[in-house]
Amino acid sequence: MESSVVSPRGSQYSQKCASCRTLICCATFEELQGLFIGKGGKSVKSCKNCRANAKSKVPGPKAYDLDQEVESHEDFMEVVSSFLEQRDSHIFDPEAQSFTFRITLTAFFVLENDVSVATCAQSGIQGTQKQAAIVLRNDIFDCTGYYFHMRRYTETVDGPHFFLTCSRAEERKAERDLSRIQRYTETKEFFDCHGELRINFSKSNLSLTILYDHKGHVETPKFHVTEEVQKYVEAHKLVPPRLIYQNLIAMADGSQLKNTDLHTITRQQVYNIWMSLTRREWERDPRDDFRSAQMLVEEQEGYFLIEGLQEPGVSLAFTTPCFNDTVKYYRSKMTEIFIDSTFGTNKHGYELYCVRTELDLVSLPLSYLLLDTRGIREEGKRGRRLTAWLTGFKGIWLKADGCSYR
């Protein structure tokens, strides 16, 4: 024991514990020394009681920078992207703390091929679960800019666990045989980022948990999209990009595309190709999406814009041929109308409302309203526009004698 930290106090000897900050007093120097001796007779700065308490402490649950449950793919992408945009500058700092998050996908979260997390977790089908893990890995790539390699798969009583590591981690560099790598790009830079990604299914909770632990560094460039993938997307451009991506991932293990590792294709890459192919079919004004939408509606036979609800960036309403063509669609048979709605429908996040009816047991859309009042500060901003839209039907067009509204 260092004599400099021991203070004689009258007939007693004392030393302050560095852990609990308590002044320990003993009648003899030997007794005091015994309280500050660790294993092997080494002098320590914390007292015997603090060392005993430290051994008995049970570590608490790990605290994450972000810990959230999500129920939809849109929410998942938004939550992860927003979290890292605010924190990760993509500049490596070896002294910085890792960014961590835990995202729990609930039972009703829909994975690829319209399979829910609950169904996938209970299925026990390794191929389906691995495909879901790969798709989520690629979504993380889109959100974070980091690509994670699948390292191992562990089957537990509660479900499969997938463990992945960052493709730019120092450990990855040590595993690569540089003499066998054919270079087409600049030499890769590796970082001591300790990047880990875990994707765990839970049968008991009917959920899927994504655990992310990683230090920021430069982004991993996206993998090259081969010509055969571009041709595949072009051949299926009338199919929604979500389904095109699902089909490509499903083809990955027994691929008909010989020159492409489909496991590395991301959802955003497929969407970008699809958008470039289809944009000319709907874009009328490259500088104004709202005006493009108006012009497109006006071009279609039987579609008419509703005056008074053409506010750029706020509202766009129109009627359909099912309402305007009274020869083909008999209004006298339209005894009831209904209103459907959905939210966050496109990149601008518009609310979408639809007035529909039933005719000969077939549901028909009569009118649509796209609405976004988030940037408006006025009382009753949403209600006033919805009322104007419905009043137009009741008073001007439908003349709803005999119609019931609900």
Q: What is the pLDDT of residue 401?
A: 47
| Span 235-240, average pLDDT | 90
Range from 41-45, 87-91, 344-348 that averages highest in pLDDT: 87-91
Average pLDDT, the chain: 82
For the ranges 36-45, 242-251, 287-296, the lowest mean pLDDT is seen at 36-45
In this model, does residue 48 exceed pLDDT 70?
yes
Q: What is the pLDDT of residue 7?
A: 58
| Span 80-98, average pLDDT | 90
Q: What is the pLDDT of residue 70?
A: 93
Choose between 195 and 56: higher pLDDT: 195
pLDDT 10s digits, 128-143? 898 899 999 999 999 9
| Span 86-103, average pLDDT | 91
Q: What is the pLDDT of residue 156?
A: 92
Range from 75-84, 369-378, 394-403 that averages highest in pLDDT: 75-84
| Span 109-137, average pLDDT | 87
| Span 266-281, average pLDDT | 87
pLDDT tier for residue 217 given thresholds of 50, 70 and 90: very high
pLDDT tier for residue 59 given thresholds of 50, 70 and 90: low
Q: Which domains does the chain have, with CATH numbers?
A: 3-56 (no CATH), 66-172+189-214 (2.20.25.80), 227-282 (no CATH), 289-405 (no CATH)
Q: What is the pLDDT of residue 38?
A: 74
CA pair distance 234, 232, nearest whole angstrom: 5
| Span 347-354, average pLDDT | 82
Torsion of CA 39, 41, 43, 46, to 10 degrees: 40
Q: What is the pLDDT of residue 6?
A: 59
Burial of 71 (0-12, 13-18, 19+ CB in 10 A): middle
In this model, does residue 61 exceed pLDDT 90?
no
Rounded to two decimals, the pTM is: 0.61
| Span 103-112, average pLDDT | 91
